[in-house]
Amino acid sequence: MSILFSPLEIKEIEIKNRCWVSPMCQYSSEDGFVNDWHLVHLGTRAVGGAGLVMTEAAAISPEGRISPNDLGIWKDDHIEGLKKITKFLKLQNCISAIQIAHSGRKGSTKRPWEDGYSVDKKNGGWDVIAPSSIPFDGKSSTPKELSKNEINELIIKFADAAKRAELAGFECIEIHMAHGYLAHEFLSPISNKRTDEYGNNLKGRMKFPLDVIKEIRKIVSDKVILLVRISATDYVENGWDLDQSIEFCKELKELGVDLIDCSSGGSSPLQKLNPKPNYQVPFSAEIKKEVGIKTGAVGLITNSHQAEEILKANLADVIFLGREFLRNPYWPLKAKKDLDGETGAPDQYIRSF
Ligand SMILES: Cc1cc2nc3c(=O)[nH]c(=O)nc-3n(C[C@H](O)[C@H](O)[C@H](O)COP(=O)(O)O)c2cc1C
């Protein structure tokens, strides 16, 4: 059997294969609620054979959304709708995962397919916050610098959101600490110019994200698989880089994080980045080797043999696919046929493969 389709055990949970759905915003919620779009979108990828299906970024507060139409998990009322999704995924023998996030200074924007950039308050926008009062770029709103009290409140909001995710039946929770959103803004010297204990040096810049994980670990059951998505580098001189990522991941491992989802970039418009197939795999490989933690590779991985080669070379433990899963929700069924000669398709679909 291929490695891609061999099971992976994390804690007491067996995940049937190693091709997982990467988190992808759908910008289709009202007041943070899931609806039929989310059930069909995520459910289809579970029917398509993914071992784990992750929701898009779910915001810990209304101000933690990217657009007013983001998914949310800031109130108990959100749990019921999410339960419908976790229940359906379980019936497909698929692990349900949710990404939990705060957008920080990159929030209050329109949906990508709409014209323009920031949303004004009349149209559902809000004032953005960040570790320091520095806008992302010339078109972005200037964020308000967080006070220590506000930082403490955000740590609790992350943990409460994670608890709600557990109550909704998610077996895996990923904390979004990548792509220039709030946690990454604390990590990166580009966006964090604080001089208190939440900034100043690497230890200080890591404090907020690590406090978030500590608080989550206090109130979420140990059985829940905990992932962190990082941007392994800012691709900017004197920014966040792979060496700092390795130090950060060592701390995450100590706190009981199970796997690092290795992405990159997003914290500066000056980033020098030329995405090509496997471009983020070296980050996964290096973190896996240096930290001794499970890793996921993501980014322009589209072919079954390409995915299998990454796993065979021990450069990652799992493969996240993003856009390829939007193009083809049944990618794993065909990939399994390519690699193992059989599909593992649901009974209802067997006659088509
Ligand atoms: C429509 C869309 C929405 C995305 N939303 C998120 C998100 O909510 N959280 C996140 O961490 N990454 C998000 N991403 C990034 C993807 O998860 C993935 O890392 C990226 O697309 C690279 O992988 P790919 O080449 O397989 O698409 C999004 C990407 C796309 C295309």
Which amino acid type is present at position 159?
A
Predicted confidence at residue 11, as pLDDT, reads 93
CATH number of 144's domain: 3.20.20.70
Confidence of residue 330 (pLDDT cuts 50, 70, 90): very high
Judge whether 297 lies within some domain. Answer: yes
Q: Are 175 and 226 in contact (CB under 8 A)?
A: yes
Catalytic residue among 117, 181, 198, 330: 181
Judge whether 1 lies within some domain. Answer: no
110 CA from centroid of ligand 1 (Å): 17
Q: Measure the CA–CA gap between 219 and 260, rounded to whole angstroms.
A: 21
Q: For residue 21, give the 3-state DSSP assignment.
A: strand
- Average pLDDT, stretch 283-301? 98
Judge whether 282 lies within some domain. Answer: yes
Judge whether 2 lies within some domain. Answer: no
- Average pLDDT, stretch 66-88? 98
Judge whether 134 lies within some domain. Answer: yes
Strands (E), the chain: 8-10, 13-15, 19-21, 52-59, 71-72, 95-101, 129-130, 144-145, 172-177, 225-231, 259-263, 294-298, 318-321
Is any atom of ligand 1 closer than 6 Å to the C-beta of 299?
A: yes
Confidence of residue 85 (pLDDT cuts 50, 70, 90): very high
Range of the domain at 180: 8-352
Judge whether 3 lies within some domain. Answer: no
Q: How far is CA 160 from CA 38, 71, 289, 314, in A?
A: 22, 16, 33, 35
Q: Measure the CA–CA gap between 251 and 247, rounded to whole angstroms.
A: 7
pTM for the predicted model, two decimal places:
0.98
Confidence of residue 352 (pLDDT cuts 50, 70, 90): confident
Q: For residue 9, give the 3-state DSSP assignment.
A: strand
Q: Measure the CA–CA gap between 155 and 135, rounded to whole angstroms.
A: 22
Number of domains making up the chain: 1
Which residue is closest in CA terms to ligand 1's atom 10?
23
Is any atom of ligand 1 closer than 6 Å to the C-beta of 230?
A: no
Is any atom of ligand 1 closer than 6 Å to the C-beta of 24?
A: yes
Judge whether 226 lies within some domain. Answer: yes
Is any atom of ligand 1 closer than 6 Å to the C-beta of 155?
A: no
When mean pLDDT is compared across 81-95, 209-223, 243-257, 337-351, the lowest value belongs to: 337-351
Which residue is closest in CA terms to ligand 1's atom 28?
24
DSSP assigned state of 118: B
DSSP string, 178-207: -TTSHHHHHH-TTT----STTSSSHHHHHH
pLDDT over threshold 80, residue 115: no
Is any atom of ligand 1 closer than 6 Å to the C-beta of 94?
A: no
Which residue is closest in CA terms to ligand 1's atom 5?
24
Q: Are 87 and 170 in contact (CB under 8 A)?
A: no
**Closest ligand 1 atom to 57 CA:** 8
- Average pLDDT, stretch 183-195? 98
Which residue is closest in CA terms to ligand 1's atom 6?
24
**Closest ligand 1 atom to 176 CA:** 11
Confidence of residue 117 (pLDDT cuts 50, 70, 90): confident
Judge whether 249 lies within some domain. Answer: yes
- Average pLDDT, stretch 145-152? 98
Predicted confidence at residue 33, as pLDDT, reads 98
